Structure 1
Amino acid sequence: MARVTKKQKEARAKVDKNKLYSLEEASALLKEITYTKFDASVDIAVRLGVDPRKANQMVRGVVSLPHGTGKDMKVLALVTPDKEQEAKDAGADYVGLDEYLEKIKNGWTDVDVIVTMPAIMGKLGPLGRVLGPRGLMPNPKTGTVTMDVAKAVAEVKAGKIDFRVDKTGIVHAPIGKASFSADKLLDNANELLTTLIKMKPVAAKGVYVKSIFLSSTMSPSISIDTKIG
């Protein structure tokens, strides 16, 4: 059994497991219970009352966080030569086509997001086994398959994230870093939750938002009151 450190004990003692915190309270408390020496990531986990196995209950979308994620997102733009310069100017970390398709085929996936054009999606199909499990396959619904490559790259760099409900009905998403102020974490969390609520599938019955937890890397999780918005 892993030994609980003094800092872990102190952090756990500050969280009342029997309390449902407001987002505002949780955002402030998270700052107190994050003890890592590095700038920890802050994540939110939302359990939804949906059955992801049914297409009409799948929840997937994008949200632009007001204050970004705090992470420098690595973007690969798979584009034709005439679009390369605009992708570079927009901040894409890697730009090209055939050479990167070959690298991906050989297992390279050292990026966070891939942006491409409709005409190129046919070439990406055979790479689904590599990209799919890592959540890297571009999708028109998330704005990563578009002719406006520059806009797509710029939005990702500015804090636009892609989220989807997993097979257990939970949406996991990064909403910032521990170095963010409590107000910035609150703004980002509210933006994501508001977006999720608007996306409630018509076919979903009963309670839609079942539970919400906020945590940072290695911190205890904080249970959030689901009566929000």
Structure 2
Amino acid sequence: MAKRGKKYQEAVKLIDKEKAYDLEEAVELVKKVAPAKFDETVELAVRLGVDPKKADQQVRGAVVLPHGTGKTPRVLVFAKGEKAKEAEQAGADYVGDEDLINKVSQGWFDFDVVVATPDMMAQVGKLGRILGPKGLMPNPKTGTVTFEVAKAVEEIKSGKIEYRVDKAGNVHVPVGKVSFDTAKLVDNINTVMEALIKAKPAAAKGTYLRNVSLSSTMGPGIRVNTAKFAG
């Protein structure tokens, strides 16, 4: 394992590995120990008591963070005619149909989120092998396959994020920047946690929220007390 820098080592000393911190305290610590010179992203990691191999225990969806992520994503919309105009007016960065599909199939990826109207999905489906592994494939569950393209673009631009349980039962999402006020980060985190609890599959048994931790891009992880979150 690569040796961590001096700032990281100093940051680790400030954290009690055995302790699960209250949310506000954990957020304060993340801000305090972030070692990088740039404005690091604050990341939330939640280990869920689900078996992701089972179809009835999938956890996936999207939620709008009240204070955004601190980054404005580049949105690509596959749409035609009136819907293409709506997407452009709503502030989509790229809008098109076959031409854009061809461009992406040739390896162009200057975008962060993809939205598509349902009538485009037969063609967009051809990009599954390219977009799927990058987590960029439009999906009705996350509101990215819709005829309401203007609403979708506006929500994404204002801070809508997608969450999805991985093979190990973990959900990783950005919840803001180190420069955010503690209250805004707490607000964003609570919004994600509420969404995850609502998304609890009926088939999930035992403790649902197994572990919650926060970290900055380059900083160490800090455990959060799950008692204040229901579920």
TM-score by length of 1: 0.97
Shift of 1:116: 1.1
Asked if the contact 1:109/1:131 (under 8 Å) is kept, the reply is no
Which residue of 2 is the match for residue 164 of structure 1? 164
Report the AA paired with residue 155 of structure 1. Answer: E
TM-score by length of 2: 0.96
Q: Secondary structure at the match of 2:39?
A: coil
Write the deviation string for residues 187-225 of structure 1: whole angstroms up to 9, x where unpaired: 111110111011111100011010011000110100011
Report the AA paired with residue 138 of structure 2. Answer: P
Cα separation, 1, equivalents of 2:2 and 2:198: 41
Matched, 1:128 2:125: no
Cα separation, 2, equivalents of 1:193 and 1:87: 30
Asked if the contact 1:42/1:216 (under 8 Å) is kept, the reply is yes
Give the aligned CA root-mean-square deviation in angstroms: 1.1
Cα separation, 2, equivalents of 1:145 and 1:135: 14
Write the deviation string for residues 11-66 of structure 1: whole angstroms up to 9, x where unpaired: 11111111100111111111100121111111011000100111100000111101
Map 1:67-146 to 2 at 5 A. 67-146=67-146
Shift of 1:228: 2.3
Report the AA paired with residue 111 of structure 1. Answer: F
Which residue of 2 is the match for residue 33 of structure 1? 33
Asked if the contact 1:74/1:111 (under 8 Å) is kept, the reply is yes
Q: Secondary structure at the match of 1:192?
A: helix
Cα separation, 2, equivalents of 1:224 and 1:93: 37
Q: Secondary structure at the match of 2:27?
A: helix
Which residue of 2 is the match for residue 11 of structure 1? 11
Cα separation, 2, equivalents of 1:49 and 1:111: 33
Asked if the contact 2:72/2:158 (under 8 Å) is kept, the reply is no
Cα separation, 1, equivalents of 2:4 and 2:147: 52
Between the aligned residues of both structures, percent identity stands at 55
Which residue of 2 is the match for residue 213 of structure 1? 213
Q: Which runs of 5+ in 2 are unaligned?
A: none
Map 1:177-188 to 2 at 5 A. 177-188=177-188
Asked if the contact 1:81/1:96 (under 8 Å) is kept, the reply is no
Q: Which runs of 5+ in 1 are unaligned?
A: none
